[in-house]
């Protein structure tokens, strides 16, 4: 029996993650729950306890055995999702950009590379008798900068015998012609918006230094008017308590977007990720929950990728396992962030190349990459109540590089655990005292 007693606000969340069951108890109830788990695992009798307590636990299903855990990822690499990292050029100069987009010598993914990748995932989908394959335009820059390749690749994907779902991740700074084309040719998108005009203009200025807010909001109004399927991706930076909640309120009031995902940025310079201090982690957690309440009251979903109690999984995302991700240099990589060799984790993330329109996967390199993820889960995650939800977390954020050594970070784990515990508490309260796994936040799956 997988059970956890999570201390929070002087009491305990009694949590069965595989059952998706949680409620609040005092110390005596926590001790009893842990004894029950230990005795069930050892096959011994039920401990002495008041009959009404045991009846309550039985009535809510707490004494049921765990269901089988989700299966591990399929080791065979037959992806039906392609992620094309289109370019390192960008209209913006975001203060926290991990890729330092717009600064390095320009590099665009070629149409020939795009065709080769599309051919592969479309063929894989046909061989597996799947109803569709997926193409996502992504990258260490703004995908629409590579406009000719993006539009031609979309048209080519639509010619395949298996239907294509085509999406993009974009900063939303488009011309009128681009906006019209996207509304008529793509199936969905994630748009980056950090909040109100003050925050957006400060954190995501144009390359000229001018603000980008009015351009992005014009795009969002067009998306809303067309009832287009989109989500918003926010990046939040310190001081979170000063403005994060207000920025979420702005999005709720000024856009029709129903799903908002936020990630904190702790780096002080472009071109890298930074690890938070414990104090920064605590401040972000408090700000997230304040903003979460604002979003919930407005009927919106605010999500953070490391805290997903509604999801039971063995993998954080599909990227390292079943996505064909190719950057402009023709490298096959294990994460959407690895737009070039300049990324600090490129040496562990490059798992192949496209050579003369053929996809060549370096299986030993891929096995080493997946081995790092498996080792982290085994050594760092075995006793963590988040292990079935964050599933080891995003490796580009949960690993840090010290010279040639890859080390797991601990403050990101602290953030994940704290937000997960608060979301469990929120779900328990919203469910009348016992949460039975209902997804009260209704977060759709968005891998891109």
Per-residue pLDDT of 320-358, as tens digits, reads 999 999 999 999 999 999 999 988 889 999 999 998 889
Tokens representing 442 are 């209704």
How would you label 270-288 residue by residue, b for 16+ Cβ within 10 Å and e otherwise? bbbbeebeeebbebbbbbb
* Predicted TM-score of the model (pTM): 0.93
**For residue 392, is pLDDT > 70?**
yes
Q: Going by DSSP bridges, is the β-strand pair 4-8/11-16 parallel, antiparallel, or unpaired?
A: antiparallel
- How far from 345 is each of 87, 192, 339, CA to CA, in Å? 19, 24, 11
Percent of the chain whose pLDDT exceeds 70: 95
Taking the CA atoms of 219, 91, 94 and 142 in sequence, report the sign of the dihedral they define. Answer: positive
Our measurement of the distance from residue 10's CA atom to the centroid of its chain's CA atoms, rounded to an integer in Å, reads 31
Tokens representing 57 are 């636990």
Other Cβ atoms less than 10 A from the Cβ of 226: the count is: 14
Tokens representing 78 are 């037959």
CB 441 within 8 A of CB 303: yes
CB 375 within 8 A of CB 364: no
Q: Determine the pLDDT at residue 4.
A: 95
CB 91 within 8 A of CB 170: no
CB 444 within 8 A of CB 29: no
Q: Is 105 exposed, middle or buried (0-12, 13-18, 19+ CB in 10 A)?
A: exposed
Q: List all residues 6 or more positions away from 384 whose beta carbon is below 8 Å from its beta carbon.
A: 413, 417
Local structure of 432: helix, strand or coil: coil
- pLDDT tier at 379 (50, 70, 90 boundaries)? confident
How would you label 7-17 residue by residue, b for 16+ Cβ within 10 Å and e otherwise? eeeebbbbbbb
172 backbone φψ class: left, alpha, beta (φ>0; ψ -120 to 50)? left
- pLDDT tier at 377 (50, 70, 90 boundaries)? confident
Per-residue pLDDT of 4-13, as tens digits, reads 999 998 999 9
CB 48 within 8 A of CB 8: no
Per-residue pLDDT of 275-333, as tens digits, reads 788 999 999 999 999 999 999 999 999 999 999 999 999 999 999 999 999 999 999 99
Cis omega (within 30 of 0) on the bond before 239? yes
Q: Going by DSSP bridges, is the β-strand pair 133-138/399-402 parallel, antiparallel, or unpaired?
A: unpaired
Q: List all residues 6 or more positions away from 434 whose beta carbon is below 8 Å from its beta carbon.
A: 21, 22, 23, 60, 428
**For residue 212, is pLDDT > 70?**
yes
Distance, CA of 152 to CA of 237 (rounded, Å) = 37
How would you label 120-145 residue by residue, b for 16+ Cβ within 10 Å and e otherwise? bbbbbbeeeeeeebbbbbbbbbbbbb
Distance, CA of 324 to CA of 370 (rounded, Å) = 15
Per-residue pLDDT of 33-87, as tens digits, reads 888 888 776 666 666 778 899 899 999 999 899 999 999 999 899 999 999 999 9
Per-residue pLDDT of 121-178, as tens digits, reads 999 999 999 999 999 999 889 999 999 999 999 999 999 999 999 999 999 999 999 9
Distance, CA of 424 to CA of 10 (rounded, Å) = 15
Distance, CA of 26 to CA of 3 (rounded, Å) = 15
The contacts found for 340-348 with CB under 8 angstroms, 24 or more apart, are 340/88, 340/99, 340/104, 340/107, 340/140, 342/99, 342/100, 342/104, 342/271, 343/98, 343/99, 343/140, 344/272, 344/273, 344/401, 345/395, 345/396, 345/399, 345/401, 345/406, 348/372, 348/406
- How far from 16 is each of 31, 54, 58, 68, CA to CA, in Å? 14, 16, 13, 13
Sheet bearing 358-361, strands edge to edge: 301-303, 259-264, 230-236, 188-192, 164-170, 133-138, 81-85, 323-326, 331-333, 350-355, 358-361
Distance, CA of 200 to CA of 82 (rounded, Å) = 30
């Amino acid at each position: 029996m997988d059970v956890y007693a999570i201390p929070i606000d002087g009491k305990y969340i009694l949590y069965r993650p595989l059952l998706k069951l949680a409620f609040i108890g005092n110390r005596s109830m926590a001790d009893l729950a842990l004894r029950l788990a230990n005795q069930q695992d050892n096959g011994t009798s039920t401990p002495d306890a008041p009959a009404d307590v045991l009846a309550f636990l039985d009535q809510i299903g707490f004494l049921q055995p765990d269901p089988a855990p989700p299966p591990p990822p399929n080791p065979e690499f037959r992806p039906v999702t392609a992620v094309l990292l289109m370019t390192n050029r960008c209209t913006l100069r975001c203060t926290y950009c991990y890729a330092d987009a717009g600064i390095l010598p320009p590099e665009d993914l070629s149409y020939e590379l795009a065709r080769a990748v599309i051919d592969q995932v479309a063929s894989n989908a046909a061989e597996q008798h799947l109803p569709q394959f997926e193409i996502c335009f992504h990258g260490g820059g703004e995908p629409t900068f590579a406009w000719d390749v993006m539009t031609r690749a979309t048209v080519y994907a639509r010619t395949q015998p298996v239907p294509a779902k085509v999406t993009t991740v974009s900063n939303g700074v488009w011309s009128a012609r681009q906006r019209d084309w996207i509304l008529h040719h793509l199936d969905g998108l994630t748009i980056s918006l950090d909040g109100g005009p003050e925050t957006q203009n400060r954190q995501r200025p144009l390359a000229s230094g001018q603000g980008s807010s009015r351009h992005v909001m014009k795009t969002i109004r067009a998306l809303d008017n067309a009832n287009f399927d989109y989500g918003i991706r926010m990046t939040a930076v310190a001081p979170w308590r000063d403005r994060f909640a207000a920025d979420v309120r702005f999005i709720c009031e000024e856009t029709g977007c129903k799903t908002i995902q936020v990630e904190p940025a702790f780096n002080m310079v472009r071109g890298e990720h930074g690890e938070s201090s414990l104090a920064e982690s605590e401040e972000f957690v408090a700000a997230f929950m304040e903003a979460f309440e604002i979003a919930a009251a407005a009927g919106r979903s605010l999500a953070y990728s490391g805290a997903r109690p509604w999801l039971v999984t063995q993998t954080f995302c599909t990227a390292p396992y079943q996505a064909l991700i190719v950057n402009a240099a023709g490298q096959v990589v294990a994460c959407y962030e690895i737009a070039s060799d300049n990324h600090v984790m490129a040496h562990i993330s490059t798992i192949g190349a496209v050579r003369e329109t053929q996809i060549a996967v370096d299986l030993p390199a891929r096995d080493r990459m997946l081995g790092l993820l498996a080792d982290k889960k085994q050594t760092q995650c075995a006793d963590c109540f988040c292990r079935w939800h964050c599933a080891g977390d995003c490796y580009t954020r949960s690993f840090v590089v010290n010279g040639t050594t890859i080390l797991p970070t601990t403050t990101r784990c602290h953030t994940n655990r704290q937000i997960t515990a608060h979301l469990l508490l929120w779900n328990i309260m919203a469910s009348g005292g016992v949460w039975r796994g209902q997804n009260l936040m209704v977060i759709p799956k968005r891998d891109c």
